[in-house]
Structure 1
Amino acid sequence: MNDQHASSPGPPTTSLTTPITAEFLHGALDLEHTAQGLLPHRLPARARAQYADGQLAMAEAQPSGVRLVFRTRATAVELDTLPTKTVYQGAPPRPDGVYDLLVDGRLAGRAGAQGGNVLNVDLATGSTETRPGPGATVRFTGLPGRAKEVEIWLPHNEITRLVALRTDAPVEPVPPGRRPVWLHHGSSISQGSDAESPSTTWPALAASLGGAELINLGLGGGALLDPFTARALRDTRADLISMKIGINLVNADLMRLRAFTPAVHGFLDTVREGHPTTPLLVVSPILCPVHEDTPGPTVPDFSDLGNGRLRFHAAGNAAKRPAGKLTLNVIRTELARIVKQRAADDPELYYLDGRALYGEADFAELPLPDQLHPDAAAHHRMGERFAQLVFGPDGPFGKDRPLRRQARQGPAATFEG
């Protein structure tokens, strides 16, 4: 693998500049032309206008799953960017965002972009402040001179404005839709929190193994059954759809069971308006011991910051579960019930218990470093398991799905992993 590191803009090593337009970008739902470059968004403008939440704005503008895709004979590629790096005051420093370069589907280079804007976030108050900084150039050299398909996966956890693309040979866009389009929605775990790189988040790995084109609407802190997110899913072309529901609702202590059940039905109703027969998989939360039976909210634990570790813990009261407070076990039980009920009239609706992706044995071997998010190794495991369970021949996105659908009778056919 050609492992490159980025530097601040300097004399270019390439001579051909290609305008970065929508036809080169896969995985974004909207593109914003700014004075500082092209900013990919993972929620459309109409959705972004309906709730001005700073956390959501940051998460959806971090281009998880977004990549530049083109065919070329170029041996050198340069991408000028303006990153916005997030710094959480009092927390350990975050590494620079990573750019993955794939050649014909295989990882061929990896780089980071130094410099850029800095977004300071106060975890205690939620206040933010942005400090402007210089742009950067990501360089990849030594690529094979043959005709090939090149993908540059943008950082999954770093807002990235695209300024210029330069190569030493012409490039041409690659149209999307050559493989089934998989539209996925979830939390920061789906966005890729603590993954090694953008092409190794668990959804990116599962898409690669499953032969699908990913559109990742994993939104850190933002999987909250928002109607505008449901409409974004409804209006996006897709062949396969999944939604991972639960952990953010507990984290935020956002609703009680009385509101949760109709909100899930409403979310599914909206998605089905645009995709009435598309395979639709509902995934419950992976194991998270602090919230299995203890409600939210989730609060940061600063007690071990001296050793460079930030953790989270559950601040809710387990005694309030009978009053409708949500825990992960409550959510799993209700999601399974809802899918079973709806599957009587919706033969392409499926359910997967998230603990099939990461459960008790996995926690014992690969514990959640901050008690909330899986690490890079766990992302690999989850991606491989999702591909086996869901994209495999017997899975809801597998090649034998049409035959199984003909044989299905009633709600007992929901997929459970």
Structure 2
Amino acid sequence: MAFADVPLLDGPVVIRGALDLERTEAGLRPRRLPSWTRPQIPSPFCELVVAMPSGVRMVFATEATGLELDVLTTKTLDSTGEPNSGGVFELVVDGVPGERVATPDGNVLALDTSGVKPPEITPGEPATVRFGPLPPGRKEVEIWLPQSAPVELIALRADGPVRPPQPDPRPRWVHHGSSISHCMEADNPLGTWPVVAARAADVNVLNLGLAGNAMLDPFTARTIRDLPADFISLKLGINVVNGDTMRVRAFEPAVHGFLDTVREGHPETPLLVISPILCPIVEDRPGPTFDDIEDGVVRFRSIGDPAGLAAGALSLSVIRESLHRIVGVRSATDPNLHYLDGRELFGESDVADLPDALHPNAAGYRRMGERFAAYAFAAGGPFAR
């Protein structure tokens, strides 16, 4: 059967995990914050990670045995000056992971995350991602987009009928965190720890992990407030330390304000606050942190002065004490509010899987997801059904 075009809008394809589909010159760019947040996005770096589709997937039912997806990707230059791999597109058929296709080259973005230099983009060309042969007969298909490269969707073609998917009846879990929830270092979209946990617990996850940008921003809190959610988790603290953006005096009221806003829309929804995982470089010293290349390997280091802690600077140890205290005070009148020390997900025994001294590798993320599912969704856990 010949390939035929499948409409990306107002047709059978459902895009899950995105809150905005931005129209571009090339096509549709999934974004993980709603359109009203665009004027409030504080930097090109924040906009970049919002457009990285961690947890975003195209879902439909089909009898096709072959699929073609035209895309324009944007890869960023890493610390060595080379474009990152961009990850992979991953196919899931009737819930079973299948084919992976490397993210094709497209645009290349040079971005100074400090904001000193303006972003520079080298335009590229669209490419086609192909899947097949798929099993015969009717099936539910998911195409998971790469978590580490913005993707503009241009066209979808199939060699068989395409129909809308079945509604997803599973409980919805909304998670917000930093790069350690965004999981750019995972080796596939299903390998990000929120997706590992969601698949283990059989829930529908929305991943609002925003690398470098879990800064207690009010627009993120309002987004979560307004979303349907059966469970909510907030992994807070590491970006505030690494950016050296707050002191204790500002951090603790900001956490309270974030929680107040979320609770406006979800007064009784199970809500889990997660402190940072282990990160030795800032456990007992403040940020800021920077990445360096040592023997060809990217590693992070902190240049903060531990003496600043006495004046209210933040380390991870201070962050954990603050979050534990805040949750303890609030849970006296909010029994559905819970706290988890992030070192339960990734701690001292896991440091071998922290190759850049900040981010877990693919194995570390998988282990985090398995541990989170075993804790949060198990009988007696904060998200137990």
TM-score (norm. length: structure 2): 0.96
In the other structure, the counterpart of 1:181 is 172
> For 2:183, which of 192, 214, 223 is the aligned residue?
192
**Distance apart, 1:115 and its partner CA:** 2.3
Q: Secondary structure at the match of 2:334?
A: coil
Structure 2: gaps of 5 or more residues: none
CA distance in 2 between partners of 1:289 and 1:283 (Å): 18
Match of 1:242 in 2: 233
Say which of 363, 366, 372 aligns to 1:380. 366
Residue aligning to 1:328: 316
How has the CA–CA distance of structure 1 residues 214 and 136 changed in structure 2, closer, same or farther, with 3 Å as cutoff? Answer: same
CA–CA separation in structure 1 for the residues paired with 2:270 and 2:309: 33
Residue 233 in structure 1 maps to residue 224 in structure 2: yes
How far did 1:97 drift? 2.6
**1:98-152 superposed Cα distances (whole Å, 9 cap, x missing partner):** 1010111111110023221110124674542001111111101111112211110
**What do the CA deviations read for 1:143-181 (whole angstroms, capped 9, x no partner)?**
111221111000101000001111111112225541011
C-alpha displacement of 1:93: 4.5
With over 3 angstroms needed to count, the CA separation of the structure-2 counterparts of 1:325 and 1:99, relative to structure 1, is same
Partners in 2 of 1:52 and 1:325 — Cα distance? 23
Structure 2 residue aligned with 1:46: 36
CA contact (8 A) 2:83 2:108 kept: no
Residue 71 of structure 1 corresponds to 61
Once structures 1 and 2 are overlaid, which stretch shifts more, 282-291 or 120-129?
120-129
TM-score, normalised to structure 1, is 0.89
CA distance in 1, matches of 2:92, 2:288: 40
Tell me the secondary structure at the aligned position of residue 88 of structure 1: coil
1:370 match: secondary structure: coil
1:38, 1:161 within 8 Å by CA — same for their partners in 2? yes
CA contact (8 A) 2:74 2:151 kept: yes
Unaligned segments of structure 1, at least 5 residues: 1-12, 400-417
* Partner in structure 2 of residue 349 of structure 1: 337
Aligned partners of 1:56 and 1:28: how far apart in 2?
Answer: 16
The runs of at least 4 aligned residues of structure 1 exceeding 6 Å deviation read none
**Within 5 A, what are the aligned runs for 1:86-101?**
86-88=76-78, 90-91=80-81, 93-101=83-91
Query: SS state of the match for residue 36, structure 2?
Result: helix
Of 163, 166, 177, which residue of structure 1 is paired with 2:154?
Answer: 163
What is aligned with 1:137?
128
What SS class does the counterpart of residue 310 from structure 1 fall into? strand
Instruction: Give SS of 2:297's match.
Output: coil
1:85 to 75, 91, 95: 75
- The 2-side partners of 1:33 and 1:66 are apart by 17
Name the CA shift for 1:53/1:185 in 2 (closer, same or farther; >3 Å): same
Please provide the CA RMSD for this pair: 1.5
Is the 2:85–2:103 Cα contact (8 Å) retained in structure 1?
no
The one-letter amino acid of 1:385's match is: R
User: SS state of the match for residue 353, structure 2?
Assistant: coil
Mapping of 1:338-417 within 5 angstroms? 338-363=326-351, 366-399=352-385
SS in 2 for 1:351: strand
Q: Which moved more, 1:125-134 or 1:199-208?
A: 125-134
Q: Measure, in 2, the Cα distance between the counterparts of 1:19 and 1:226.
A: 35
Matched, 1:153 2:144: yes
Q: Whole-Å Cα distance in 2 between the matches of residues 123 and 224 of structure 1?
A: 15
Distance 1:322 1:189, change over 3 A: same
Contact kept, 8 Å, 2:277 with 2:345, in 1: the verdict is: yes
Cα distance in 1 for residues equivalent to 2:166 and 2:221: 26
1:56 deviates by 0.3
Deviation by residue 1:169-201 (Cα, 9 ceiling, x = unmatched): 111222554101110000011011211111110
Q: Is the 8 A contact 2:21 2:29 kept in 1?
A: yes
Please list the CA deviations of residues 74-94 of structure 1 after superposition, one character each: whole Å capped at 9, or x if unmatched: 111111111011113534542
Which has the larger displacement, 388-397 or 255-264? Answer: 388-397
Contact 1:25–1:66 under 8 Å retained in 2: yes
Q: Distance in 1 between matches of 2:167 and 2:256?
A: 31
Match 1:112 to one of 96, 102, 110: 102
Asked whether the 8 Å contact 1:119–1:131 carries over to 2, the reply is: yes
